[in-house]
Chain A
Amino acid sequence: MTEQEIAERVKKIMVEEFELKEEILVPTASLYDELGLDSLDSVDLVVALEREFSFKVVRNLDEEKIRAIRQLKDIHEFIMEKQKAMQGEPK
Protein backbone atom coordinates (compact mmCIF):
# COMPACT_ATOMS: atom_id res chain seq x y z
CA MET A 1 0.00 0.00 0.00
CA THR A 2 1.41 3.41 -0.93
CA GLU A 3 1.61 6.37 1.42
CA GLN A 4 -1.08 8.08 -0.63
CA GLU A 5 -3.49 5.15 -0.18
CA ILE A 6 -2.75 5.06 3.54
CA ALA A 7 -3.38 8.81 3.80
CA GLU A 8 -6.76 8.43 2.07
CA ARG A 9 -7.87 5.62 4.36
CA VAL A 10 -6.72 7.49 7.48
CA LYS A 11 -8.63 10.55 6.26
CA LYS A 12 -11.76 8.43 5.87
CA ILE A 13 -11.40 7.17 9.45
CA MET A 14 -10.98 10.69 10.79
CA VAL A 15 -14.12 11.85 8.98
CA GLU A 16 -16.24 8.87 10.03
CA GLU A 17 -15.07 8.45 13.62
CA PHE A 18 -14.51 12.05 14.66
CA GLU A 19 -16.78 13.92 12.24
CA LEU A 20 -13.90 16.11 11.10
CA LYS A 21 -14.06 18.09 7.87
CA GLU A 22 -11.95 16.65 5.07
CA GLU A 23 -10.35 19.97 4.15
CA ILE A 24 -8.58 20.34 7.51
CA LEU A 25 -7.06 16.87 7.31
CA VAL A 26 -3.71 17.85 5.83
CA PRO A 27 -0.62 15.73 6.69
CA THR A 28 0.86 18.44 8.92
CA ALA A 29 -2.34 18.93 10.94
CA SER A 30 -1.70 18.56 14.67
CA LEU A 31 -4.00 15.92 16.17
CA TYR A 32 -4.42 17.67 19.48
CA ASP A 33 -4.17 21.40 18.76
CA GLU A 34 -5.68 21.69 15.29
CA LEU A 35 -7.99 18.67 15.08
CA GLY A 36 -9.04 18.89 18.75
CA LEU A 37 -8.54 15.24 19.62
CA ASP A 38 -7.80 14.16 23.20
CA SER A 39 -6.52 11.09 25.04
CA LEU A 40 -9.89 9.32 24.76
CA ASP A 41 -9.97 9.95 21.02
CA SER A 42 -6.49 8.50 20.67
CA VAL A 43 -7.79 5.24 22.20
CA ASP A 44 -10.58 5.19 19.60
CA LEU A 45 -8.16 6.11 16.84
CA VAL A 46 -5.85 3.19 17.63
CA VAL A 47 -8.81 0.75 17.58
CA ALA A 48 -10.05 2.16 14.27
CA LEU A 49 -6.55 1.92 12.71
CA GLU A 50 -6.12 -1.64 13.92
CA ARG A 51 -9.41 -2.65 12.32
CA GLU A 52 -8.87 -0.74 9.08
CA PHE A 53 -5.28 -1.89 8.48
CA SER A 54 -5.50 -5.32 10.14
CA PHE A 55 -2.53 -4.91 12.46
CA LYS A 56 -2.19 -5.13 16.20
CA VAL A 57 -0.73 -2.42 18.36
CA VAL A 58 1.48 -4.30 20.80
CA ARG A 59 1.56 -3.01 24.36
CA ASN A 60 5.04 -1.92 25.53
CA LEU A 61 6.49 -2.35 22.02
CA ASP A 62 4.38 0.31 20.27
CA GLU A 63 3.46 2.47 23.24
CA GLU A 64 6.34 4.91 22.80
CA LYS A 65 5.67 5.26 19.06
CA ILE A 66 1.98 5.92 19.68
CA ARG A 67 2.82 8.58 22.26
CA ALA A 68 5.19 10.26 19.82
CA ILE A 69 2.41 10.74 17.24
CA ARG A 70 1.58 14.43 16.94
CA GLN A 71 0.54 15.01 13.34
CA LEU A 72 -1.42 13.10 10.71
CA LYS A 73 1.76 12.30 8.80
CA ASP A 74 3.13 10.57 11.93
CA ILE A 75 0.16 8.20 11.71
CA HIS A 76 0.96 7.46 8.06
CA GLU A 77 4.56 6.70 8.97
CA PHE A 78 3.50 4.50 11.87
CA ILE A 79 1.20 2.47 9.62
CA MET A 80 3.89 2.06 6.97
CA GLU A 81 6.29 0.86 9.63
CA LYS A 82 3.72 -1.63 10.96
CA GLN A 83 3.10 -2.90 7.45
CA LYS A 84 6.79 -3.39 6.80
CA ALA A 85 7.07 -5.28 10.09
CA MET A 86 4.08 -7.46 9.08
CA GLN A 87 5.64 -8.25 5.71
CA GLY A 88 8.82 -9.32 7.47
CA GLU A 89 6.96 -11.67 9.81
CA PRO A 90 7.21 -15.41 9.04
CA LYS A 91 3.95 -16.72 7.54
Chain B
Amino acid sequence: MKALRFLLSGVYLAYILFLSGLYVAAYPLIMFYLSRKKNYRIDDAIRCTNRLYGFFLVKCSWPLVRIRCTGAENLPRNGSAVIVANHRSTSDMFFSPFFTTSNTTVFVRSWPFRIWGLGWFMRRAGYLDMEKSDINYFLAGAGAELFRRGVSFLFFPEGHRSRTGKLQLFRSGAFLTAVEYNIPVIPVCLTGTETFQSMKDHMFRPAVIVITILPPVYPAAFPPEKRALKLKRHVEALIKEHLNEH
Protein backbone atom coordinates (compact mmCIF):
# COMPACT_ATOMS: atom_id res chain seq x y z
CA MET B 1 0.00 0.00 0.00
CA LYS B 2 2.81 2.37 0.92
CA ALA B 3 4.65 1.53 -2.31
CA LEU B 4 1.52 2.25 -4.35
CA ARG B 5 1.03 5.56 -2.56
CA PHE B 6 4.68 6.41 -3.23
CA LEU B 7 4.25 5.54 -6.91
CA LEU B 8 1.06 7.59 -7.33
CA SER B 9 2.62 10.52 -5.51
CA GLY B 10 5.61 10.31 -7.88
CA VAL B 11 3.31 10.22 -10.91
CA TYR B 12 1.53 13.32 -9.67
CA LEU B 13 4.86 15.09 -9.07
CA ALA B 14 5.94 14.21 -12.63
CA TYR B 15 2.63 15.59 -13.92
CA ILE B 16 3.19 18.84 -11.97
CA LEU B 17 6.73 19.10 -13.37
CA PHE B 18 5.36 18.55 -16.88
CA LEU B 19 2.75 21.32 -16.37
CA SER B 20 5.44 23.56 -14.91
CA GLY B 21 7.54 22.95 -18.03
CA LEU B 22 4.63 24.03 -20.21
CA TYR B 23 4.16 27.10 -18.10
CA VAL B 24 7.87 27.99 -18.19
CA ALA B 25 7.71 27.75 -22.00
CA ALA B 26 4.79 30.20 -22.03
CA TYR B 27 6.37 32.42 -19.38
CA PRO B 28 8.22 34.84 -21.70
CA LEU B 29 5.03 35.44 -23.69
CA ILE B 30 2.98 36.16 -20.55
CA MET B 31 5.70 38.45 -19.17
CA PHE B 32 5.96 40.23 -22.53
CA TYR B 33 2.19 40.74 -22.63
CA LEU B 34 2.01 42.08 -19.06
CA SER B 35 5.09 44.31 -19.19
CA ARG B 36 4.76 45.68 -22.72
CA LYS B 37 1.04 45.64 -23.43
CA LYS B 38 -0.27 46.22 -19.92
CA ASN B 39 2.68 48.35 -18.74
CA TYR B 40 3.26 46.29 -15.58
CA ARG B 41 6.51 46.83 -13.71
CA ILE B 42 8.74 43.76 -13.77
CA ASP B 43 8.10 42.79 -10.14
CA ASP B 44 4.33 43.29 -10.55
CA ALA B 45 4.38 41.19 -13.73
CA ILE B 46 6.32 38.36 -12.01
CA ARG B 47 3.89 38.31 -9.05
CA CYS B 48 0.90 38.31 -11.37
CA THR B 49 2.43 35.53 -13.50
CA ASN B 50 3.21 33.45 -10.41
CA ARG B 51 -0.41 33.76 -9.36
CA LEU B 52 -1.59 32.57 -12.79
CA TYR B 53 0.83 29.65 -12.49
CA GLY B 54 -0.72 28.70 -9.14
CA PHE B 55 -4.24 28.81 -10.59
CA PHE B 56 -3.11 26.77 -13.59
CA LEU B 57 -1.55 24.02 -11.46
CA VAL B 58 -4.47 23.77 -9.05
CA LYS B 59 -7.09 23.76 -11.82
CA CYS B 60 -5.15 21.06 -13.69
CA SER B 61 -4.97 18.99 -10.48
CA TRP B 62 -8.71 18.42 -10.38
CA PRO B 63 -10.17 15.99 -9.20
CA LEU B 64 -7.16 15.14 -7.00
CA VAL B 65 -7.42 18.61 -5.52
CA ARG B 66 -10.77 20.26 -5.03
CA ILE B 67 -11.10 23.79 -3.75
CA ARG B 68 -13.91 25.15 -1.63
CA CYS B 69 -13.32 28.84 -1.21
CA THR B 70 -15.66 31.21 0.60
CA GLY B 71 -15.40 34.90 1.42
CA ALA B 72 -13.48 36.00 -1.70
CA GLU B 73 -15.56 39.20 -1.56
CA ASN B 74 -13.58 40.14 1.57
CA LEU B 75 -10.40 40.66 -0.45
CA PRO B 76 -9.88 44.32 -1.42
CA ARG B 77 -10.52 45.25 -5.04
CA ASN B 78 -8.27 48.28 -4.80
CA GLY B 79 -5.48 49.18 -2.42
CA SER B 80 -3.37 47.19 -0.03
CA ALA B 81 -4.26 44.75 2.70
CA VAL B 82 -2.36 42.42 4.98
CA ILE B 83 -3.45 38.85 4.37
CA VAL B 84 -2.66 36.40 7.17
CA ALA B 85 -3.20 32.66 6.91
CA ASN B 86 -2.56 29.67 9.14
CA HIS B 87 0.24 27.36 7.97
CA ARG B 88 -0.10 23.59 7.94
CA SER B 89 1.79 22.45 4.86
CA THR B 90 4.52 23.38 2.38
CA SER B 91 1.79 23.41 -0.23
CA ASP B 92 -0.05 26.33 1.42
CA MET B 93 1.74 28.69 -0.97
CA PHE B 94 0.51 26.57 -3.88
CA PHE B 95 -3.08 27.57 -3.01
CA SER B 96 -2.32 31.22 -2.27
CA PRO B 97 -3.78 32.50 -5.58
CA PHE B 98 -7.20 31.69 -4.17
CA PHE B 99 -6.82 33.96 -1.14
CA THR B 100 -4.63 36.80 -2.38
CA THR B 101 -5.16 39.81 -4.63
CA SER B 102 -3.61 39.90 -8.12
CA ASN B 103 -0.65 41.89 -6.80
CA THR B 104 0.50 40.44 -3.48
CA THR B 105 4.02 40.13 -2.17
CA VAL B 106 4.93 37.37 0.24
CA PHE B 107 7.02 37.27 3.41
CA VAL B 108 9.03 34.07 3.32
CA ARG B 109 11.62 32.50 5.61
CA SER B 110 15.29 32.62 4.61
CA TRP B 111 15.80 29.07 3.35
CA PRO B 112 13.91 29.32 -0.01
CA PHE B 113 16.08 32.33 -0.88
CA ARG B 114 19.13 30.09 -0.61
CA ILE B 115 17.89 27.71 -3.34
CA TRP B 116 19.79 28.43 -6.51
CA GLY B 117 17.59 30.05 -9.16
CA LEU B 118 14.49 30.18 -6.96
CA GLY B 119 16.11 32.72 -4.62
CA TRP B 120 16.99 35.01 -7.52
CA PHE B 121 13.48 34.66 -8.92
CA MET B 122 11.87 35.42 -5.55
CA ARG B 123 14.02 38.51 -5.10
CA ARG B 124 13.04 39.71 -8.59
CA ALA B 125 9.38 39.21 -7.63
CA GLY B 126 9.94 41.40 -4.57
CA TYR B 127 9.31 38.63 -2.05
CA LEU B 128 10.72 39.43 1.35
CA ASP B 129 12.96 37.51 3.70
CA MET B 130 11.17 37.68 7.05
CA GLU B 131 14.23 36.55 9.00
CA LYS B 132 16.65 39.07 7.52
CA SER B 133 14.38 42.07 6.88
CA ASP B 134 14.51 44.77 9.50
CA ILE B 135 10.79 45.42 9.78
CA ASN B 136 11.18 49.11 10.75
CA TYR B 137 13.59 49.65 7.86
CA PHE B 138 11.20 47.83 5.54
CA LEU B 139 8.13 49.77 6.68
CA ALA B 140 9.86 53.10 6.11
CA GLY B 141 11.35 52.14 2.74
CA ALA B 142 10.43 49.29 0.41
CA GLY B 143 7.15 48.57 2.22
CA ALA B 144 5.96 52.16 1.89
CA GLU B 145 6.66 52.05 -1.84
CA LEU B 146 4.69 48.79 -2.22
CA PHE B 147 1.83 50.23 -0.16
CA ARG B 148 1.78 53.35 -2.37
CA ARG B 149 1.42 51.09 -5.40
CA GLY B 150 -1.47 49.17 -3.83
CA VAL B 151 0.43 45.90 -3.34
CA SER B 152 -0.93 43.58 -0.65
CA PHE B 153 1.22 41.64 1.82
CA LEU B 154 0.81 37.92 2.53
CA PHE B 155 2.11 36.55 5.83
CA PHE B 156 1.97 33.16 7.47
CA PRO B 157 2.37 34.69 10.94
CA GLU B 158 3.08 31.36 12.62
CA GLY B 159 6.40 31.38 10.75
CA HIS B 160 6.61 27.58 10.60
CA ARG B 161 4.23 24.86 9.51
CA SER B 162 2.24 23.48 12.40
CA ARG B 163 3.26 19.90 13.14
CA THR B 164 0.22 19.25 15.29
CA GLY B 165 -2.38 21.07 13.19
CA LYS B 166 -2.91 23.44 16.11
CA LEU B 167 -2.43 27.13 15.57
CA GLN B 168 0.98 28.30 16.83
CA LEU B 169 1.95 31.63 18.33
CA PHE B 170 1.72 34.51 15.84
CA ARG B 171 4.69 36.75 15.02
CA SER B 172 4.22 40.50 14.86
CA GLY B 173 5.42 41.58 11.40
CA ALA B 174 2.02 41.36 9.70
CA PHE B 175 0.31 43.41 12.37
CA LEU B 176 3.03 46.07 12.57
CA THR B 177 2.62 46.46 8.80
CA ALA B 178 -1.17 46.83 9.05
CA VAL B 179 -0.88 49.40 11.85
CA GLU B 180 1.88 51.37 10.10
CA TYR B 181 -0.13 51.84 6.88
CA ASN B 182 -3.56 51.66 8.53
CA ILE B 183 -4.70 48.91 6.18
CA PRO B 184 -7.05 46.02 6.96
CA VAL B 185 -5.95 42.56 7.98
CA ILE B 186 -7.73 39.78 6.11
CA PRO B 187 -7.65 36.54 8.16
CA VAL B 188 -7.61 33.35 6.11
CA CYS B 189 -8.28 29.85 7.43
CA LEU B 190 -6.85 26.92 5.48
CA THR B 191 -7.72 23.29 6.04
CA GLY B 192 -6.99 20.23 3.93
CA THR B 193 -3.51 21.27 2.80
CA GLU B 194 -2.05 19.06 5.53
CA THR B 195 -3.84 16.11 3.89
CA PHE B 196 -2.78 17.10 0.38
CA GLN B 197 0.89 17.07 1.43
CA SER B 198 1.50 15.78 4.91
CA MET B 199 4.42 16.81 7.10
CA LYS B 200 5.19 13.14 7.85
CA ASP B 201 6.13 11.78 4.44
CA HIS B 202 5.64 14.76 2.06
CA MET B 203 3.62 12.52 -0.29
CA PHE B 204 0.65 13.90 -2.20
CA ARG B 205 -2.85 12.67 -1.47
CA PRO B 206 -6.30 13.63 -2.79
CA ALA B 207 -7.74 16.41 -0.69
CA VAL B 208 -10.49 18.96 -0.44
CA ILE B 209 -8.91 22.29 0.37
CA VAL B 210 -11.24 24.54 2.35
CA ILE B 211 -10.28 28.20 2.19
CA THR B 212 -12.28 30.62 4.30
CA ILE B 213 -11.53 34.30 3.86
CA LEU B 214 -12.87 36.13 6.91
CA PRO B 215 -14.07 39.76 6.89
CA PRO B 216 -11.37 42.44 7.19
CA VAL B 217 -10.20 43.63 10.60
CA TYR B 218 -9.25 47.32 10.75
CA PRO B 219 -6.37 48.50 12.99
CA ALA B 220 -8.26 51.71 13.81
CA ALA B 221 -10.79 49.63 15.75
CA PHE B 222 -8.16 49.08 18.48
CA PRO B 223 -6.85 51.59 21.04
CA PRO B 224 -3.54 53.25 20.05
CA GLU B 225 -1.48 51.82 22.91
CA LYS B 226 0.07 48.52 21.78
CA ARG B 227 -2.31 48.50 18.82
CA ALA B 228 -0.30 45.93 16.83
CA LEU B 229 -0.25 43.51 19.77
CA LYS B 230 -4.02 43.84 20.33
CA LEU B 231 -4.68 43.42 16.61
CA LYS B 232 -2.49 40.31 16.58
CA ARG B 233 -4.29 38.73 19.52
CA HIS B 234 -7.70 39.49 17.99
CA VAL B 235 -6.85 38.00 14.57
CA GLU B 236 -5.22 34.98 16.23
CA ALA B 237 -8.42 34.40 18.21
CA LEU B 238 -10.59 34.73 15.09
CA ILE B 239 -8.59 32.14 13.14
CA LYS B 240 -8.41 29.81 16.13
CA GLU B 241 -12.14 30.04 16.67
CA HIS B 242 -12.87 29.32 13.02
CA LEU B 243 -10.47 26.37 12.81
CA ASN B 244 -11.98 24.81 15.91
CA GLU B 245 -15.36 24.74 14.18
CA HIS B 246 -14.09 22.30 11.56
- A44 is an interface residue with CB less than 8 A from chain B: yes
- A19 is an interface residue with CB less than 8 A from chain B: yes
**Inter-subunit contact B136/A47 (CB<8 Å):** yes
- A17 is an interface residue with CB less than 8 A from chain B: yes
**Inter-subunit contact A17/B131 (CB<8 Å):** no
**Inter-subunit contact B131/A59 (CB<8 Å):** no
**Inter-subunit contact B131/A43 (CB<8 Å):** yes
List the B side residues contacting A18 at CB < 8 Å: 169
**Inter-subunit contact A47/B169 (CB<8 Å):** no
**Contact mask B171-182 → A, CB, 8 Å, 1/0?**
111001000000
**Inter-subunit contact A59/B173 (CB<8 Å):** no
How distant is the Cα of A40 from the Cα of B173 in the complex, in angstroms? 10
Instruction: Say which residue of B133, B136, B171, B226 sits within 8 Å of A41 (CB atoms).
Output: B171
Q: How far is the CB of B110 from chain A (nearest CB, A)?
A: 8
How distant is the Cα of A33 from the Cα of B172 in the complex, in angstroms? 22
User: Would you call the interface of chain B mostly helix, strand, loop, or mixed?
Assistant: loop
- B159 is an interface residue with CB less than 8 A from chain A: yes
Known pairs A17-B229, A40-B109, A40-B159; A59 contacts B134 (CB<8 A) = yes
**Inter-subunit contact A43/B229 (CB<8 Å):** no
List the A side residues contacting B171 at CB < 8 Å: 40-41, 43-44
- B30 is an interface residue with CB less than 8 A from chain A: no
Q: How many residues of B are in contact with the other chain, CB < 8 A?
A: 18
**Inter-subunit contact A47/B172 (CB<8 Å):** yes
**Inter-subunit contact A43/B169 (CB<8 Å):** no
List the A side residues contacting B133 at CB < 8 Å: 43
- B146 is an interface residue with CB less than 8 A from chain A: no
- A48 is an interface residue with CB less than 8 A from chain B: yes
- A39 is an interface residue with CB less than 8 A from chain B: yes
How distant is the Cα of A17 from the Cα of B173 in the complex, in angstroms? 12
- A16 is an interface residue with CB less than 8 A from chain B: yes
**Inter-subunit contact A39/B169 (CB<8 Å):** no
- B189 is an interface residue with CB less than 8 A from chain A: no
List the A side residues contacting B229 at CB < 8 Å: 16-17
How distant is the Cα of A56 from the Cα of B137 in the complex, in angstroms? 10
Interface residues of B in 29-66 (CB under 8 A from A): none
- A3 is an interface residue with CB less than 8 A from chain B: no
**Inter-subunit contact B134/A40 (CB<8 Å):** no
Q: Chain A residue with minimal CB distance to B134? A: A59
How distant is the Cα of A39 from the Cα of B109 in the complex, in angstroms? 10
30 example contacts (A-B, Cβ-Cβ < 8 A) are as follows: A16-B229, A17-B172, A17-B229, A18-B169, A19-B169, A38-B160, A39-B110, A39-B131, A40-B109, A40-B130, A40-B131, A40-B159, A40-B160, A41-B171, A43-B131, A43-B133, A43-B135, A43-B173, A44-B171, A44-B172, A44-B173, A47-B135, A47-B136, A47-B176, A48-B172, A50-B136, A56-B136, A57-B134, A59-B134, A59-B137
Sample of 17 further A-B pairs with CB below 8 A, known A40-B109, A43-B171: A17-B172, A19-B169, A38-B159, A38-B160, A39-B110, A40-B131, A41-B171, A43-B130, A43-B173, A44-B171, A44-B172, A44-B173, A47-B172, A48-B172, A56-B136, A57-B134, A59-B137
Shortest Cβ-Cβ A-B pairs, 5 listed = A40-B159, A44-B172, A44-B171, A39-B131, A40-B171
